[in-house]
Structure 1
Amino acid sequence: MRTITANDPLPPQAAIDSAVRYRVKNYSPKGNRVGWLMMASILVEAWDLYSIAFVLIFVQEQYNPGALELGLAAAGTQGGALIGALIGGWLSDKIGRRVMFLSTMIMFIVLALAQAVVPSMTWLIIILFLLGIPLGSDISTGYTYIMESMAKGEREVMGNRWQFMFAVGEVLTLAVIAVFLVFDVNHQWVWRIVLGLGAVPALIILLLRHDVPETAVWLVQKGRFKEAKAVAKQMYDDDLAMLPNRDVVLPKPSTAAFIADLRKDPVRWRATLYGWIACFAQGSEFSTFAFYLPVLFTMVGVSSVLGNNLVTMALFCLAAVSGWVGPLLTPKIGHRGIGIAGFSIVLVSLLIAAAALYLDYKYVLPFAAAGMLWGHYWDASNCMTIPTMVARPRYRGTASGFAYMFVKLPSFLAIFLFPSLFTAIGQANATLFVAIFPLIGLLAAIFILPEVYGYEAD
């Protein structure tokens, strides 16, 4: 392979694309460490996204908010994450993965601590909304790192583990709350400490992330060849000899061209379209049914706050097992297989739950809830992996952020609006309504999604 010198003409886009393809086909084990650091940050996000749902009852005791304030507090972080997903992915492509990665962790620390000292319900809603912005941004940045730092197959298994990490984060949050309840800690302290504790893992991950370099793929796409060579040498012991040892000015890709670029390749377009639909379907099924779980437990006789907390924790322990098993099965049954299986399990579980409510077989409900969560942690596993993986490297951050938007939009709307629907049409009808979402996801997995396991964008 001939080394290009500084006197050679500017390499054409085809040569740069060739260098990117070469880079993504040659990985080192260091990429696994980067992947796990990305996954570790989801523990922080799970804590910050869902801890408010677990402690909202204590916030309500102290501030006695109205229905609108309560809904905004519950959904505020999801609303901020919607904005963060949009701007975070775009900024990741514009200013770099590493800058976004470090800045989001710093914001996690500051805003998590701010939650613990808010003087009023209004300030809590504001802080929760602001906290959602780095939460949405970090997911899109993390997925670009995984897709640009790990080998084919391995990166997909790692990317699909995000639901496992969410479940672990939720279990840890519930465990901490349970300890406080066992020791009868004042409820006003419980919610403040729980929300503020999110700063601790964020600080640890920030320290671990500090030496993670920018991805060589992003640097190549930006024409920063000298830095790309240095990173490639550090990470892969390969100095990308096909590129000149000088930086060049390259035309900046238009964000508006992202969709047009997808449409050029039917496989990439159909896979991305499925990812958006799956993100919306799984976000809707989880946010609606998760609201319903405490009511369900009360119906079967779990009436205390501690008892509700422990039963919820047990279900999320089961979900964590599902979130670990699903990615391991993906290489065997493919992305289509895990999507079809997951949405099918959720659909059947919700239909059983609805039938149990209509027939007043309340003892069936916990088993239906367990089945629903098991299937959900499969169908949600690859909805972010697929759109990020199939996107061209120059649009990868945008693609990831755009996909995450389809997770956060239904999450915000469901948490904010579903309680009213739940009250208006009743438990059984509401459960049957939720079954629409896994049905949509199942049909998309069968008729839209091509098998893209191991796919590499040109």
Structure 2
Amino acid sequence: MLVAANSQSAMDNAVRHLVTRYNPKGNRIGWLMMASILVEAWDLYSIAFVLIFIKQQFNPDPLLLGLAAAGTQGGALVGALVGGWLSDKIGRRIMFLATMILFIILALTQAFVTSVAWLVVVRFLLGVPLGSDISNGYTYIMDSMRSGEREVMGNRWQFMFAVGEVLTLAIIAVFLIAEMSPELVWRVTLGLGALPALIILIMRHDLPETAVWLVRRGRFKEAKRVSHEMFGDSLEMLPNEDVTVPKASTTAFLADIRKDPIRWRATLYGWIACFCQGSEFSTFAFYLPVLFVMVGVSSILGTNLVTMLLYVIAAIAGWVGPMLTPKIGHRGIGIAGFGIVFVSLLVAAWALYTQNTILLPFAAAAMLWGHYWDASNCMTIPTVVAKPEYRGTASGFAYMFVKLPSFLAIFLFPALFTAIGQAGATLFVAIFPLVGLLAAIFILPEIYGYEHD
């Protein structure tokens, strides 16, 4: 039967009851969701570190090589939208298991491709579960942890990305020191992404569906059972029979967030911040060659080690930012992060214009620190303010705004960089953190500890 008014009230009470209570298992689930980002960091960015070997072997045209690098970003754009919607429609657990299985199959497949064209196809397909897993992971975190703590956990995603990048670079450095053949280096590096995915799949296998999603789908019997197993709480406010609930839709999500000005402003900021941080980070790679030349790095191994050092700094920033969130709030993290990036880029532009390039490595390190702050909560904010029945869709929409600039920058920014030079391009990139800073100041309401009525 369709959900009645008393059942709707019971659903609201049960969800409020779940999200305001704490259990250590919720924290465990949060870390398990974060662990999957290591896999994503490996699959998304390992290609950048081995692209030189792929180019040496196949010598493809620049467009095809660019598609190989950008393929996962394009696939992730599709996966974010489709995966988030499916997470709301068919459940969090089945989507998690499906994405990990696809991770394993496609990561192994890319290690055996016979041409760059096939690599492009496989990496695009690989991007679909990558984008889906991010949006799905955030719904699990928001469903399983209480307000405040779930936001700190959600803000750790950039820390996990940095750790994944450091691990990738460290393993590639070992391969280079061992004098492994170039072909073997790139094939093993890409294929190794299947190993952590397999470990996480095994760890996730017995993870139940979230009680919050089951409540919102009207599956009260299963929700009561899962809540009892997870939290020792049988949700007595729920009736002992299931009800039929109208299915959520994307249009319903977009209409719903406009009803509440707090949720709308927070969501709008999340979209803007996702696009701005994605743009500033995607263009950062164009500064790395300048840095390498300045510090006298010319070998592939040296490049790997210097890049690894930069991401160690990023990992520290990614850990510190979430710890400060309860003290300075989401607005504080956003303002500080975008502000640091904006000032760093102005300093970098001045250094390039005046040939005081000794300042550039310090400006780049500061930029990376600020980026790992301003990017930390851009996914958390839209997901935490969304109603539970729309969380997957909300997370997928937000991640779309991360992947879109990441995909476009690979094709558009090199031409701009060549046309207006390093200093001019640096000033252009500064537009993105400036927009993010203004959005944090004037659009974002403080929503740390936000709970639905």
Shorter-chain TM-score: which interval?
Answer: over 0.9
- Structure 2 counterpart of 1:133, from 122, 128, 132: 128
- Structure 1 counterpart of 2:241, from 204, 222, 246: 246
Give a deviation string over 1:306-363, Cα, whole Å, max 9, x none. Answer: 1111100000001000000000000000000000000011011111111111111222
Asked if 1 retains the 8 angstrom alpha-carbon contact of 2:103 and 2:197, the reply is: yes
- With the length of structure 2 as denominator, give the TM-score of the two structures: 0.98
3-state secondary structure, aligned to 1:241: coil
Partners of 1:284 and 1:356 lie apart in 2 by 21
| Of 388-397 and 352-361, the range deviating more from structure 2 | 352-361
Determine if the alignment matches structure 1 residue 266 to structure 2 residue 282.
Answer: no
| Structure 1 residue 298: Cα displacement | 2.5
Q: Indicate the residue corresponding to 1:188 in structure 2.
A: 183
Q: Indicate the residue corresponding to 2:106 in structure 1.
A: 111
Q: Indicate the residue corresponding to 2:90 in structure 1.
A: 95
Which amino acid in 2 is paired with 1:101?
Answer: F
Partners of 1:307 and 1:104 lie apart in 2 by 35
3-state secondary structure, aligned to 1:238: coil
Asked if 2 retains the 8 angstrom alpha-carbon contact of 1:275 and 1:384, the reply is: yes
Which amino acid in 1 is paired with 2:183?
Answer: Q
Which amino acid in 1 is paired with 2:296?
Answer: G
Determine if the alignment matches structure 1 residue 358 to structure 2 residue 353.
Answer: yes
Q: Which aligned pairs between 1:27-38 and structure 2 lie closer than 5 A?
A: 27-38=22-33
3-state secondary structure, aligned to 1:106: helix
RMSD of aligned alpha carbons:
1.3
| Of 95-104 and 245-254, the range deviating more from structure 2 | 245-254
Asked if 2 retains the 8 angstrom alpha-carbon contact of 1:289 and 1:431, the reply is: no
Partners of 1:187 and 1:254 lie apart in 2 by 48
| Structure 1 residue 65: Cα displacement | 1.1
Determine if the alignment matches structure 1 residue 414 to structure 2 residue 425.
Answer: no
Asked if 1 retains the 8 angstrom alpha-carbon contact of 2:7 and 2:238, the reply is: no
| Structure 1 residue 257: Cα displacement | 1.2
- Structure 2 counterpart of 1:40, from 31, 35, 38: 35
Which amino acid in 2 is paired with 1:445?
Answer: A
Determine if the alignment matches structure 1 residue 206 to structure 2 residue 201.
Answer: yes
Give a deviation string over 1:128-175, Cα, whole Å, max 9, x none. Answer: 101000000000000000001011111111000000000000000000
- Structure 2 counterpart of 1:345, from 340, 345, 362: 340
- Structure 1 counterpart of 2:309, from 314, 321, 324: 314
Partners of 2:217 and 2:4 lie apart in 1 by 17
Asked if 2 retains the 8 angstrom alpha-carbon contact of 1:389 and 1:457, the reply is: no
Specify whether residues 424 and 300 from structure 1 end up closer, same or farther in structure 2 by C-alpha distance, changes over 3 A only: farther
Q: Indicate the residue corresponding to 2:324 in structure 1.
A: 329
Which amino acid in 2 is paired with 1:329?
Answer: L
Asked if 1 retains the 8 angstrom alpha-carbon contact of 2:7 and 2:239, the reply is: no
| Structure 1 residue 14: Cα displacement | 2.9
3-state secondary structure, aligned to 2:283: helix
3-state secondary structure, aligned to 1:11: helix
Partners of 1:305 and 1:429 lie apart in 2 by 28
Asked if 1 retains the 8 angstrom alpha-carbon contact of 2:88 and 2:248, the reply is: no
| Structure 1 residue 295: Cα displacement | 3.8
| Structure 1 residue 242: Cα displacement | 1.1
Q: Which aligned pairs between 1:292-311 and structure 2 lie closer than 5 A?
A: 292-311=287-306
| Structure 2 unmatched runs, 5+ | none
Partners of 1:177 and 1:294 lie apart in 2 by 19
| Structure 1 residue 301: Cα displacement | 2.5
| Of 323-332 and 353-362, the range deviating more from structure 2 | 353-362
| Structure 1 residue 10: Cα displacement | 7.3
Asked if 2 retains the 8 angstrom alpha-carbon contact of 1:280 and 1:407, the reply is: yes
Give a deviation string over 1:183-235, Cα, whole Å, max 9, x none. Answer: 22111110100000000000000000111100001001111111100000011
3-state secondary structure, aligned to 1:426: helix
| Structure 1 residue 252: Cα displacement | 1.7
| Structure 1 residue 449: Cα displacement | 0.3
Determine if the alignment matches structure 1 residue 291 to structure 2 residue 286.
Answer: yes
Identical aligned pairs, as a percentage? 77
Give a deviation string over 1:94-152, Cα, whole Å, max 9, x none. Answer: 00000001100000000000111000000000111010000000000000000010111
- With the length of structure 1 as denominator, give the TM-score of the two structures: 0.97
Give a deviation string over 1:18-44, Cα, whole Å, max 9, x none. Answer: 221112112311001100000000000
Asked if 2 retains the 8 angstrom alpha-carbon contact of 1:88 and 1:141, the reply is: yes
Which amino acid in 1 is paired with 2:78?
Answer: I
Partners of 1:427 and 1:255 lie apart in 2 by 41
